[in-house]
Amino acid sequence: MKYNFNIILIGAGDSAVEIVDYILNDKKFNLKKNFIKIFDNNFKNRKYFYRLNKNIKLESIKKFNLFKDINAKALITFGDSQLRTKYKSILVKKKIKLFKLIHSTSYVSNTAKVSSGAVICPMSVIGSYAEVKENVYINSGALIGHHSVIKKNSVISPNCFFGGNTKIGNNGFVGAGTNIYPGVSIGDNCKVAAGSSITKNI
């Protein structure tokens, strides 16, 4: 995807540092022509953003309420499903569109569908006919099996394995290293602890 627009990131946590790194290392993005603005109230990672590029702008959430730019698109970087849902609603009201970010080292099948606002981190696999719905965050090394569906605003932690035909509901959270057996469905608003093996529907 060619990033020929200004980029807004909601959230300045650790995952935001990674996302900025992914964007800046993509030769399709030109920071001289477009800007990256990050909105949050906590800038503990300020030094890391500046090390990546001193032109990155950090702004408070209050300033986001006043932000207008017809050439801007956004990603939500929070790893909390509730925050992802909250800020997606705000972006919709402000008529700011989400874009999707798929790292170049990930494999996404040509038959899979990845919706806007989704982030697919390095070394992930999205299998045949899988669906990744809007505003989903899939962290590094996750394997999403064929015909699986991950619904809106969900967060999938590193190194998860989803067998074929699995389903994750809206606003879900799946902890690192979780194995979900083929055909298993997990409902809306569920949190799965790291290292779990899920063999039955939840």
pLDDT in tens, 39-89: 999 999 999 999 999 989 999 998 988 888 888 999 999 999 999 999 999
Q: What does pTM read for this prediction? A: 0.93
pLDDT value of residue 67: 86
- Report, as ranges of residue numbers, the positions in the chain whose pLDDT lies below 50: none
What is the Cα–Cα distance from 12 to 133, expressed in whole angstroms? Answer: 23
Q: Are strands 101-102 and 161-162 parallel, antiparallel or unpaired?
A: unpaired
CB 42 within 8 A of CB 12: yes
Site of tokens 């001289």: 32
Reported for 125-128, long-range contacts at CB under 8 A and 24+ positions apart, including other chains, are 127/164
Give the count of beta carbons closer than 10 Å to the beta carbon of residue 134: 17
Q: What pLDDT shows up at residue 28?
A: 63
